[in-house]
Chain A
Amino acid sequence: GESVGLHLPTLSVQEGDNSIINCAYSNSASDYFIWYKQESGKGPQFIIDIRSNMDKRQGQRVTVLLNKTVKHLSLQIAATQPGDSAVYFCAETPGNNRLAFGKGNQVVVIP
């Protein structure tokens, strides 16, 4: 079947380098944001979240940055590994008791 990664912007990164994935969100009232990772043939998996009262949050090898002024979210992955190859997408809460998902970015790690 068709991969969810088709038609998406693609970031190719050398194994061991850092990756930065960007997301522009739409609603200035959104107060919660999540990054998800989706590997081929699997459902999306939570990576990290951040609330609007923060501008940075770190996890294991991942950091999320939030710039509310320009409505921009980024995910940084340190020392990218082959297992990081996936589609990454952000989600925001636009105030209607739902999550609104971005279309995603495909990350391809080159060994």
Chain B
Amino acid sequence: DVKVTQSSRYLVKRTGEKVFLECVQDMDHENMFWYRQDPGLGLRLIYFSYDVKMKEKGDIPEGYSVSREKKERFSLILESASTNQTSMYLCASSSGRASDEQFFGPGTRLTVL
């Protein structure tokens, strides 16, 4: 059974902290994505990566960075967390075209106090 896993289901951090969200996929997919999901706004793409050490900005990259040192792992970094980054964060992966079917992880609900 294919799987995308995220390091935490729930996370509470304080304003100004550095936050790491980890995502691992076991499907040998080239493409990996980070989204945030907010009520009424749907899924918004933060960053994506189509190969190891490659990254591209999505629609809302400000305040975030990413790291892809290994094919199976894609990390999202909040350099200095702010309250407006409280959200559900979803990781996904796909093979072939980045726009083909994406497989999602269970999500991390991050609260920044």
Interface residues of A (CB under 8 A from B): 1-8, 32, 34, 36, 41-46, 49, 89, 93, 97-99, 101-104
Q: Which of B40, B42, B48, B90 contacts A98, CB < 8 Å?
A: B48
A5-B39, A43-B90, A102-B42 given; name 20 further pairs at CB < 8 Å. A1-B88, A2-B39, A6-B39, A6-B40, A34-B101, A41-B107, A43-B4, A44-B104, A45-B104, A46-B103, A49-B101, A89-B43, A93-B97, A93-B100, A97-B99, A98-B45, A98-B99, A99-B102, A103-B42, A104-B42
- The distance from the CB of A8 to the nearest CB of chain B, in whole angstroms, is 7
- The distance from the CB of B105 to the nearest CB of chain A, in whole angstroms, is 5
Q: Which residues of chain A have C-beta atoms less than 8 A from B90's C-beta?
A: 43-44
Cα(A101)–Cα(B104), bound, Å: 13
Q: A42's closest neighbor in chain B, by CB?
A: B106
**Can you list 10 contacts pairing A with B, beta carbon distance less than 8 Å?**
A4-B37, A42-B107, A43-B90, A44-B90, A46-B101, A89-B43, A93-B97, A93-B100, A99-B102, A103-B41
Interface residues of B (CB under 8 A from A): 4, 37, 39-43, 45, 48, 50, 58, 88, 90, 92, 97-107, 109, 111
Majority secondary structure of chain A interface residues (helix, strand, loop or mixed): loop
Cα(A103)–Cα(B106), bound, Å: 18
Q: Are B101 and A4 in contact (CB under 8 A)?
A: no
Q: Which residues of chain B have C-beta atoms less than 8 A from A89's C-beta?
A: 42-43
Q: Which residues of chain B have C-beta atoms less than 8 A from A7's C-beta?
A: 39-40
Q: Are A32 and B99 in contact (CB under 8 A)?
A: yes
Cα(A99)–Cα(B98), bound, Å: 8
- The distance from the CB of A11 to the nearest CB of chain B, in whole angstroms, is 17
Q: Are A97 and B42 in contact (CB under 8 A)?
A: no
Cα(A102)–Cα(B43), bound, Å: 8
Q: Which residues of chain A have C-beta atoms less than 8 A from B50's C-beta?
A: 97
Q: Are B101 and A101 in contact (CB under 8 A)?
A: no
